Amino acid sequence: MKLGVIADDFTGASDIALTLAEGGMTVSQFVGVPATAALSFDAGVISLKSRTAPKTEAVAQSLAAGRWLLAQGCTQIVFKVCSTFDSTDDGNIGPVIEALADLTGETRVLVCPAFPENGRSVYQGHLFVGDHPLHESGMQHHPLTPMTDPDLRRVLQRQTNWNVDHIDARTVFQGTDAITARNQGAKAMVIVDAIRDSDLIAIGTSARDRFLLCGGSGIALGLPANFGITRHSIDWQGAKGRGVVLSGSCSAATRAQVAFFKERAPFQEIIAASVMDGTQTAQGIAEWVLAQDAAPLVYSSADPEAVRAAQVTYEKDVIAAKIEDLFRELSRILAKKGVTRIVSAGGETSGAVIAGLGAKVLHIGPRIAPGVPALKIAGQNMAVALKSGNFGDEQFFQTALDQLEAKA
């Protein structure tokens, strides 16, 4: 194995796995740290559920993943975080970078969550979503990781005792050599500006001799070429059978997708109060799903005001855990009853779905939308799409269901 990736959630893992696969690498995505050595391929992506975990737990999981990847022969590790840098002031990005830097011996860690194809750019150290700064993009309302500061230097500095440096766009525009020359000096985490794919390719090329990087999937655009690998097409065969959409993301993009799909398919909303008092259960929802003629939608994607009200009534961590448990059990029941295509929206929801399906290894298929590949679960007749909250157009759910279906 040449390149290892540690992703802090499941949608992010499949996102960067797609980037590497489209870049020509042979890629496997693992659910958690494998217990045994891996077969021979170019890149291994380990999916963790560490983004909102306690810091000590996130660091421990990430170090276990890093040690396994190094044991497989990886010469470079990427710590994959969300392209909106989802975190809190007491978050995990800084501490995990510190731990992985100690493990790999890296002293200057390039950090760039930019993903221009999906509207994420970093300029003057600030993160933008489309033409809005991060804190005005809707991410300020995220129920678990509200992002209220677009300056990534400040966000990261609040999480680490390391220096936080910055490589500006003017330097990046000059190309690989200028980035390499600027990335010298004392120990630091280095926020790097990027507004175009060509910027990310230059950043990736400049990192050819670095042991550790941190960023969104875009930072991987320039990495396959460092190992002498070129682009190729991806073989794919979907799954025949019933489909369902499970949506737990509360992002603006997902709520628009939910609204669009509701006009065209059966749907059932997960209500916080009904989950808490036991009147809405995984078994009951599964029976309803199986009674539908068309692929239905089950969603808990409420608007920010409704989410805040539920968090006040039931406490944020309690209601989040209850709904994740419901999605986990629901996916388990549906798979057992013959559902073979699942579209999941939201990082926490996708983690719950993958846990419910008992997946250990995911095979990477073609892209459904930027940052979202079709996936097959190894050893199962199950095709899945794991969508980060803000990804995809309003027709994404139907597009994904169609892509996951095996063609005659």
CA distance 374 to 385: 5
Asked if 253 and 395 sit in the same domain, the reply is: yes
Counting runs of H as helices and runs of E as strands, what totals does the chain give?
15, 18
Does 284 lie in the same domain as 176? Answer: no
Q: Of 198, 218, 271, which Cα lies nearest the Cα of 82?
A: 218
Enter the DSSP assignment of 354.
H
Q: Does 281 lie in the same domain as 156?
A: no
pTM equals: 0.84
**Which domain, by its residues, includes 215?**
3-226
Question: Same domain for 264 and 194?
Answer: no
- In order of 87, 88, 108, 162, the CA distances from 166 in angstroms are 19, 20, 11, 13
pLDDT value of residue 29: 94
Residue 358 sits in the same domain as residue 209: no
Residue 355, CA distances (Å) to 49, 138, 362 in order: 10, 28, 12
Domain count, the chain: 2
Rounded distance, CA 170 to CA 124, Å?
10
**Residues 277 and 377 occupy one common structural domain:** yes
Indicate whether 248 and 305 sit together in one domain: yes
Of 192, 226, 260, the one marking the end of a domain is 226
Contact 76, 83 (CB under 8 A): no
Q: Which residues of the chain have pLDDT under 50?
A: none
* 151 within domain boundaries: yes
Q: What share of the chain is helix, strand, coil (3-state, %, to 5)?
A: 40, 25, 35
Residues 11 and 153 in one domain: yes
Residue 391 maps to which CATH number?
3.40.980.20
What pLDDT is attached to residue 315?
A: 78
Residues 72 and 111 both lie in one domain: yes
Which of 195, 226, 257 is the last residue in one of the domains? 226
- pLDDT value at position 3? 97
Whether 237 maps to a domain, the answer reads no
What amino acid occupies position 238? G
Amino acid type, 350: S
Q: Which two tokens stand for residue 378?
A: 């190894």
pLDDT given at position 371? 86
Domain harbouring 198, CATH code: 3.40.50.10840
Reduce the DSSP state of residue 58 to 3 states and report it.
helix
What are the C-alpha distances in Å from 250 to residues 146, 320, 329, 394?
12, 12, 20, 14
Backbone dihedral region for residue 251 (phi beyond 0: left; psi -120 to 50: alpha; all else: beta): beta
Q: Is residue 180 part of a domain?
A: yes
What pLDDT, on a 0 to 100 scale, did the predictor assign at position 408? 64
Question: Which amino acid, one-letter code, is at 327?
Answer: F
Alpha-carbon distance of 71 to 74, in angstroms, equals 7
CA 256 to chain centre: 20
236 found inside a domain:
no
Domain boundary (226, 257, 288) is at: 226
Nearest to 335 by CA among 289, 266, 274, 278: 289
288 assigned to some structural domain:
yes
